[in-house]
Amino acid sequence: MTLSPVADTALLARLSREAIPTGEYFRTRATAGTLPLTPQQRHANYELLATVSRRPQTAPDHDLTPIRCITIRPPWSDLIAIEDDQVAKRIENRVWSTHWRGTLLIHAGAEVDIRALALDAVRQMLGDDYQLVRGAVVAVADLIGIHADDGACTPWSEEGCFHWELARVQRLTTPVAARGAQRLWKPTPKLLRQVVDANPHLRGRLAASNAEVGA
C-alpha cells in the first residue's frame, strides 16, 4: 500500500494501533519541502486506509455478543453522551472505517484530550461545573453509517476523517468502570450485566441485542 507522501511511516504506525481520531496526519506532518496534499490525494488516502482498517476485531472469537464498544477520549465521549440531538456530538471522527453496524457502547478513555477542553464550543456545551468521566462506559448508541470526509456535515465533524454517524444515544445515569481497548471491541457479558444492573432503563434495549443481558 502506498499513501501520498506525507508522514507515511507515522500515519501507518498510528493506524496499526488504531489511530487517535484526527485529520492532522493528512495535512500537517509533511517533511520539509513536501507540498500539502490535494483533496484528490487525501481522498485516495481515505480509500486506502478504509481497505487496511477492515481487519478482524480485536476481541476473542469465542465472545459472540453482537454489541460493540468504542473508546473515546474525554471530553468527546461526554459530548456524545448528551441526549439532545440538536446540540450533541453525533459524528465520531476516525481515520479508519468498518462494515460493522449496530448497538455501540460509548466508553470514556483514561486519556483526556486537553486541547479539546480549551475549545469554546466544548466549554459552552459542557458548562462550568463539568467533571471528567474517565475509564467508564458513559452511553449507548447505534452506529448507523459511515461516510468519508464530505466537509463540515455537522459542527463536530473533522476534515480528513471518516465520519461515523451515531443515533439513538442514551446516557448512562451511572457510568460503569471498564478498561478500554483499540478499534471496535466486544464488551464481555459481565460488563454488559454491570451496565444493565447499574442502569435498568437500558435493560430492554441491550437485551434485544444480546440475549445474555436479559438473563
CATH 2.30.130.30: which residues of the chain?
Answer: 68-210
CATH topology of domain 68-210: 2.30.130
Supply the mean pLDDT for the chain. 79
pLDDT of 13 above 50 = no
State the pLDDT at residue 21.
39
pLDDT band at 129 (very low <50, low <70, confident <90, very high): confident
Least confident of 3-12, 71-80, 112-121, 154-163: 3-12
**Is residue 24's pLDDT more than 70?**
no
All three cell numbers of 156, joined, read: 463536530
Model confidence at 102: pLDDT above 90 = yes
At 37, is the pLDDT very low, low, confident or very high (cuts 50, 70, 90)?
low
According to the model, what pLDDT value does residue 63 have?
Answer: 47
